[in-house]
Structure 1
Amino acid sequence: MADTKDAVALGPLEMLRWAWTQLTKMNTALFLLLLLAIAAVPGSIFPQRIQDPTKVNDYIEAHPTWGPIADFLQLFDVFSSVWFASIYLLLFISLIGCVLPRAAKHYRSMKTPPARTPKNFGRLPQHRTLTIPAGAGNLDAKRAIDDAAAVLKKRGYRVETREDAPGVLSVGAERGYLREFGNILFHVAMIGVLVAFGAGSLFGYSGQKVVVEGETFVNSLISYDSFDPGTNYNPDWLNPYSATLDSFEVAYDRQEGSPTYGDDIDYTAEMTLTDSKGESSTETLKVNEPIYIEGTSIYLLGNGYAPIVRVTNDDGSIAYEGPVVGLTSGMSYLSSIVLKVPDAQPGQLGFVGMFLPTGETEYGAPTSIDSDLYNPMLVLQSYTGDLGLDDGVPQNVYVLDVDSLEDLNTMAKGNGIVLDGSKPSVQLPEGHGTIEMLGVKRYVGLEIRSDPGRPIALVSFILLFIGLIISLFVARRRVWVRAHSSGEGADRVLTVEYALLARGEDPRLADEANRLTDLFASAWGLEFDEA
């Protein structure tokens, strides 16, 4: 039995080299990319603290055992967690480690002359031998090689002529270096995508705001209904511009006999934008056609109706007056309404109900038969008591807890409030004043986004696509042509051999060989038979 020796232990430097080699392999980069996608999944499953800390606290309270464990594992702070950042940085380093050596190697190969001429062309996948009789076109080996080099240069090959032996001349040619350049460009663009993603996650933000016709949204933290900042974004960086919703128009399908008759088919919001310098402009906002200002994009997300309501106390003072945003449900824009009036006298008032754009009560329960404002109707129930607004605990403006309130007007009592064009106001019982519907306005739901990585992502995706196309359609090929004379006098012949080799699979290699045959014949002004 042969003697065996123990493997030599690797020192710290060798271990670092081994680790770097493993990290910069392409299969490692692909694995890390897959791992990053998997690591992002908990961010869509668990509530994130940066977006809604209240939901996180509620989740932990509802799961007393699992909640603290999930918090320790940073599942509520996925995109700023140590493990997510580690995967992201390792992927970034891996791609750079893959690209830089490949780029340096490719640069050196471009400076290196084409590979030496093989001795046996018959072993190559495409090879031809052309036998030219003496005196045909006054050709000799030197002129044949010079002409072949010129033809190959026109075909985009990088060429080098050489003398393999006395009287035997050859030319080596290569092309397709752009293919490797496309591969490198593709991976550089991947790095750009990672940079763009990181820039957006760290320094971008998104927010939502409901704006009623005639109202102005000011780009400050207090104006947002919800605000989701990037990990390192500071709300003090918000540019103080404003956006006013001048009008909102909806186009409906009114074609008789259409199966979608009455459905809304187009939305147009006219807005006045005023930048931080005080300069104003009018812009049109449509679905999938955002408007841009001060580095942010404003998108149209939704719309609905906001009936204008006034609540007046018995002494004539106004407890509330303004639009009430309704949450739409269904194709007919039937909207749920919640109104809280803490300034009402002699007690606080709360209203819940629904708004119907085209109200109909002829056949029983109120319903809306069209999305347009043909018969605006507001159906409400009223309650009185402590609304809990003075406790300092945040409340959902679209929810009214009626368990601790006394009902005044309800459908069950038969005195529910119904306001429309024929009856715009109703007296509330027990001296709680009156409620009126003064009109109806439209509102829009806006999403405001700032993503500093978006220009980088756009350029990176374009470069990624270009690199992919180049790497798929550019062929890497080598061509060698050799010429030598044999025989004497009338028996003298010039033998020209050439062969082609592809780097990788190239189904068009035979076509290239045929094309070169035609070009050589044209350059020499000859007609010959292939041997």
Structure 2
Amino acid sequence: MTIDNNTPEKESNWLSILGRSLRQDLLPVLTNLKLAIILLLVIAAFSITGTVIEQGQSGIFYQSNYPENPALFGFITWKFILFTGLDHVYRTWWFLALLILFGTSLTACTFTRQLPTLKAARRWKFYEQPKQFQKLALSAEFDNASLNSLPEILKKRKYQVFQEEDKSNILYARKGLVGRIGPIVVHIGIVVTLLGSIFGAMTGFIAQEMVPSGETFQINNIIDAGPLAAKVPKDWSVHVNRFWIDYTPSGGIDQFYSAMSVLDAQGKEVDSKTIFVNQPLRYKGVTFYQTDWGISGVKVQINNSPIFQLPMAPLETNGKGRIWGTWIPTKPDLSEGAALLAKDLQGMVLIYDAKGQLADTVRTGMSTQVNGVTVKLLDVIGSTGLQIKADPGIPIVYAGFAILMSGVVMSYFSHSQVWALQTGDRLYVGGKTNRAQVAFEREILEVLDLLSSSSIDNIASSDKSLLPNV
């Protein structure tokens, strides 16, 4: 006779042992308050890192700004940033793992602690022995008193009063049960926020575009995208109607703007907005931020030639500012020319002749003689630097934040409880609360004063020679 070791009973036993092991070993770790605090601090630290270190830039950018010698704080170099993923913190596997672990910890705490606490708070709990009132921080005893007036006094103070029909000598009252629900709602809000962040990191993308004024573009330069990111929309495009910069009287940049139009597949405008820093354009879940600017080209005329639009390229200045330059031919065979340099969009351009000498400084609309020809500067064309983001998780994050704030407000309500027991002519009253202890004590003292006054009136109406001893 053979025995089958894989019987349903054995499988059930293994599952039971596994479940018991998870409850006994894993749950205490997940619900540990110290673990939750450590995870929260680590997440906050890496979030700050992602704010300080520029995200989604090119490798050349990090090599220029985070060199190996000298290394920032002795160890933060471009190699370290790229190796650890600090150039895209919010999409790294380890950051997402931290969010999942923190959310799991909150969920476990909710089911093992918060929900049982709420369930216990909802139970009617009567005190039927005088000694039970001794453990309350606030209690009182009355001689020759009755609790008949107590329910009405408590109801006027928004208490929910419970009494059993066959036991009219005992009473339980409570208010502020919403305060017990608040922490659960806070946990739900945090978990929803974390889910929104994870969903956004998995499905969103970031792109960057440098677009000359007057040009139309579609999103192409994706620099970072989640593994589940949707395809970049191709059924609409964006036209930069105009780009301009406002300067301060001292010549510094005050603000730069881009007037933009969203065009459908037929080239019809479906949306438009003038964007600037902290005022983006949003369309179909894609957000266009104004983040940078540049000079894309100049329009010039040589003698009576047609108008040329020449591109300008940024030049290396070793960190001494930004400058763009181009070269224009002054002879038909291209054997001689002049260099044009510009540092901003205020219209001033420096012109250097074939010998490298400064020939003149001109502004838009002005002409000058260079290498024996007349060069007229017609326009300096700016380009707008855009950061483009798609984050489908943002609505979920906002919803989670709204739930979180609601839970915080709910948590400020005190859960107050009052018990009363009458044995013969002796009345016991006591209560406790989970917060705002001083205000609760003041309220209970007012209730006791009213109860005492009511008892005196009742006794006086039956026998004016009797007075209660409180």
Scaled by the length of structure 1, what TM-score is found? 0.65
Q: Does structure 2 conserve the Cα–Cα contact (< 8 Å) formed by 1:160 and 1:171?
A: yes
Provide the residue aligned with 2:137 in structure 1. 125
Over 3 Å counting, the alpha-carbon distance change for 1:321 and 1:478 in structure 2 is: same
Q: How does 1:283-362 map to 2 (within 5 A)?
A: 283-302=273-292, 308-310=298-300, 321-322=309-310, 324=312, 336-339=323-326, 346=334, 351=339, 353-355=341-343
- Unpaired runs of 5+ residues, structure 1, are 1-10, 134-140, 254-259, 358-372, 383-407, 487-494
Q: 1:233 to 1:466 in 2, by over 3 A?
A: same
In the TM superposition, residue 22 of structure 1 has moved relative to its aligned partner by: 0.8
Q: Secondary structure at the match of 2:200?
A: helix
Task: Report if aligned partners of 2:118, 2:180 keep a CA contact under 8 Å in 1.
Answer: no
Query: What letter corresponds to residue 342 of structure 2 in structure 1?
Result: M
Residue 52, structure 1, aligned to residue 54, structure 2: no
Q: Deviations over 1:501-530 (max 9, x none)?
A: 123562212221134246657988949988
Name the SS of the counterpart of 1:508 in structure 2: helix
Q: Following the alignment from structure 1 to structure 2, what is the Cα–Cα distance between the partners of residues 130 and 19?
A: 51
Aligned to 2:236: 241
TM-superposed CA distance for 1:169, in Å, is 0.5
| Aligned pairs for 1:393-404 within 5 A | none
Contact kept in structure 1, 2:359 and 2:370, CA below 8 Å: no
Bigger share in helix: 2
Which residue pairs with 2:185 in the alignment? 185
Matched residues in 2 for 1:311 and 1:476: separation?
A: 81
Kindly report which structure 2 residues correspond to 1:109-508, keeping only aligned pairs within 5 A, or say none: 109-117=120-128, 119-120=130-131, 121=133, 123-130=135-142, 141=146, 144-145=147-148, 147-162=149-164, 169-216=169-216, 218-221=217-220, 224=221, 227-232=222-227, 234=229, 236-248=231-243, 269-275=258-264, 278=268, 280-302=270-292, 308-310=298-300, 321-322=309-310, 324=312, 336-339=323-326, 346=334, 351=339, 353-355=341-343, 373=346, 376-381=347-352, 408-410=354-356, 414-416=357-359, 418-420=361-363, 423-424=366-367, 426-428=369-371, 436-471=376-411, 473-486=412-425, 495-504=426-435, 506-508=437-439
Q: Report the Cα offset of residue 451 of structure 1.
A: 1.6
Distance 1:356 1:160 in 2: 77
Equivalent AA in structure 2 for residue 105 of structure 1: P
Contact 1:338-1:350 within 8 A present in 2 as well: no
- Secondary structure at the aligned position of 1:271 is classed as strand
> Could you tell me whether the CA contact under 8 Å between 1:289 and 1:299 is conserved in 2?
yes
Residue correspondences, number: 431
Could you tell me which amino acid in structure 2 is paired with residue 244 of structure 1? H
Contact 1:242 1:275 in 2 (8 A): yes
Q: CA contact under 8 A between 2:301 and 2:378: conserved in structure 1?
A: no
C-alpha deviation, 1:178, in angstroms: 1.3
Give the letter aligned to residue 28 of structure 2. Answer: T
> Partner of 2:461 in structure 1?
none
How far does residue 462 in structure 1 lie from its aligned partner after superposition?
2.1
Check whether the contact 2:417–2:431 (CA below 8 A) recurs between aligned residues.
yes
Q: 1:303 to 1:42 in 2, by over 3 A?
A: closer
SS in 1 for 2:273: strand
Q: Are residues 92 and 335 of structure 1, via their aligned partners in 2, closer, same or farther at CA, if it must alter by over 3 Å?
A: same
Distance 1:18 1:444 in 2: 57
| Cα distance in structure 1, aligned partners of 2:312 and 2:64 | 28
Letter paired with 1:289: Q
Q: Which amino acid aligns with 2:349?
A: L
Structure 2 unpaired stretches of 5+? 1-16, 70-76, 459-466
Deviation at 1:307, TM superposition (A): 6.0
| C-alpha distance in 2 between matches for 1:525 and 1:267 | 79
TM norm structure 2: 0.72
- Give the C-alpha shift of residue 470 in structure 1: 2.3
Deviation per CA, 1:232-272, whole angstroms, max 9, x where unpaired?
A: 2547333543232334566677xxxxxx6777766664332
> For residues 119 and 444 of structure 1, what CA distance do their matches in structure 2 show?
79
Three-state SS of the structure 2 residue aligned to 1:236 is coil
